[in-house]
Structure 1
């Protein structure tokens, strides 16, 4: 079985694959940054909760945008399963052609997202990945990474609104039903969420205008739960990045 790990700025996702079937997913918060032993306990809890003790994990691959945590999780995977985890980066064959000014600058999360989307939808894609940052990815007609736009994420906007204003409280984000709020919390929530809904739609339309043709629209990322019901033209892929990691592992799995 294959263990895929996505280390993001807000969440760490663990996905266990039995061939092409994603059998289990487990999530934990990235912050506060913890010690190796604490993170090891988190992964052990995942193994125990899902009763994975008897399952043979013989491969692992990690995508990380938090460099200090990468060696920690590589060490934990080896300690628990005796497996040397692959690290998604320039030395690992992704099979993705990257058509940007500096391909080495493209983050592991963007590469995995693109590979996952290509494996399922092919080419001419617009991918909105809503995490700590909102990433808008273009996959061109040759299934190459054609570029992206990066903006502050939903939670950053919410935190800024309460932190930088004297009278507005913190808001618990929800998926709103109405644009017009009837109280302070609902008004803030609607403003934060619908700002992102309209931005996502606007970026999709702007990408299509710039490339000159329609694009298949895909939505993913931890914060996509707040906007997905308002974006019916998007295919929702909850575990797109883990799918990309699975596909990249295949390309680097020596028989």
Structure 2
């Protein structure tokens, strides 16, 4: 099996692919920069076992990370646990992707992964919206080249900022408001602001990207918060869960030929 790891600021997503390329296990652990490689190895082993996956059957691993402090730690953790080859998505890894940015070497590896997966689907031009700590928009032109991106604050950052910067606003979880668009209490008003406000921003960005990339733009929605936001969008999008993981699998296959 192949272990694909997507390291984000809030959480780390683990995915196991079988030899046929099927994503058979998806699990999550918290991102914590204070944990050691040994602690992460124990955590990964535990969550995979809960999902019925034996870490001993993992013969390769690939990592994408937006948290540099955790990249080496997770690599070491996987080497301790699985004793297998580990690939980090970086500038030296083959992706088959044309990146038309000012400095292709510093483009986020998560953007590269979703772009690789979107290009493989052949529905171009394309826009991938990945909703995590940040909301990222990754744009591909008709040739499948990554031609630009947009980065906006995520909903959880927005709620945290409201609580810390506004004295009378409470700390709330990201849940759907009970009273619809117009909140009847502070918590519903905040939830509506985050969900409807973020959805309106996404709708507007899709429209502006369509003006630049073409009317036949295909839009994908992914990320940990995609399920919450999707019902509030008015634009047509294609939900693809765990798009980064699928991109990681494709990148592994481009770089390694042996069986997993």
Q: TM-score range by the shorter chain?
A: over 0.9
Q: CA deviation at 1:54?
A: 7.7
State the distance in 1 between where 2:23 and 2:168 align. Answer: 45
| 1:247 to 2:250 alignment | yes
Partner of 2:191: 189
Q: More deviation in 179-188 or 208-217?
A: 208-217
TM-score, length-normalised on structure 1? 0.95
State the distance in 2 between where 1:211 and 1:17 align. Answer: 33
Structure 1 residues 85-109: Cα deviation after superposition (integer angstroms, max 9, x where no partner): 0000001001110011111121100
Given the superposition, is the C-alpha separation of residues 54 and 169 from structure 1 closer, same or farther in structure 2, using an over 3 Å criterion?
A: closer
Partner of 2:167: 166
Q: Which aligned pairs between 1:8-87 and structure 2 lie closer than 5 A?
A: 8-18=8-18, 19-31=20-32, 33-53=34-54, 56-87=57-88
State the distance in 2 between where 1:122 and 1:87 align. Answer: 27
Count residues in correspondence: 255
State the distance in 1 between where 2:152 and 2:145 align. Answer: 22
Given the superposition, is the C-alpha separation of residues 250 and 75 from structure 1 closer, same or farther in structure 2, using an over 3 Å criterion?
A: same
Unaligned runs of 5+ in 1: none
Q: CA deviation at 1:43?
A: 0.8
Q: Which aligned pairs between 1:95-134 and structure 2 lie closer than 5 A?
A: 95-134=96-135
Contact kept, 8 Å, 2:33 with 2:69, in 1: the verdict is no
Q: CA deviation at 1:84?
A: 1.7
TM-score, length-normalised on structure 2? 0.93
Q: CA deviation at 1:204?
A: 0.4
Q: More deviation in 67-76 or 174-183?
A: 174-183
State the distance in 2 between where 1:170 and 1:52 align. Answer: 36
Q: Could you list the structure 1 runs, at least 4 aligned residues long, displaced by more than 3 angstroms after superposition.
A: none
Could you say what secondary structure the match of 1:148 adopts?
A: strand
Contact kept, 8 Å, 1:124 with 1:140, in 2: the verdict is yes
